[in-house]
Amino acid sequence: MTLHIAPGDSAGGSLREAIALAGLEDEVLACRDDLSCGPISTDDPAARVAWWARYHEDADDGQLALFWERVTGTSERLVLWTSRLCAQEHACFLACVDRLGDRPYRVIDVTPGKLRVSHLRGERLRPLIGSERPLSAEARLQARERWRILKAENAAFRLNTPDGLISAPIDCFDAFLLQRTPIEGERIIRVVSEVMVIDADGQVGNVLLIARVVALVEAGKLVADGDPRDWSKTRIARPR
């Protein structure tokens, strides 16, 4: 049986749909950890869980540990799905390549079509099943080298660029949040959504942007009419 590694929950759901449409019994294993943000200096899942627990009450290292145990320990035929246009998908791919070492696996990279796995529905992914190709020894080496550099830098964010993923500091999206916040005020949900879609091009989730809004309010760079953690109702504005 083939085990498809999906770079996220959304991608996992679409891949399961595609496999069902194709009439296959392949299995999909989705990575529930967004490795484009947070600490990555260690491979210990507990470190990732401790960091995510600052933002999610239900963070659980059991699922993360099981994911990596399955990826590195399975004897099934492996297929890694990815896109170099998405920081989360590319980071998951690099981490998998690094951990798999010389283990045989194949790859489906949707980048040439200017696509992202997480943006495609099952009917769009179905024709791609069976197009997987092995990764060359040189490509493996380059991917592992890149991931190890990123791990050593251990930055707050990893962002997609034409030259691959690069490290970025915790305040890298602050300027966008400030620019998108009008002086007369706007709900946090609107500001964060605009930064996510327009400025960040989907490279960051709402959880971390909300955390940055809270930090900017605490620093006096933004003012809020309520608790900024209540992002669906609270309005923020730039100081006059």
Cα–Cα dist 128/70, whole Å: 24
DSSP state of 201: T
pLDDT confidence of residue 207: 87
Within 10 angstroms of residue 59's Cβ, the number of other Cβ atoms is 15
User: Low-confidence residues of the chain, pLDDT below 70?
Assistant: 59, 61
What tokens appear for 149 in the block? 């550099």
pLDDT confidence of residue 25: 94
Cα–Cα dist 237/195, whole Å: 15
pLDDT confidence of residue 61: 64
Cα–Cα dist 141/101, whole Å: 9
Whole-structure pTM value: 0.92
pLDDT confidence of residue 63: 87
Name the nearest CA neighbour of 84 among 163, 13, 5, 31.
163
In the three-class reduction of DSSP (H, G, I as helix; E, B as strand; rest coil), residue 29 is classed as strand
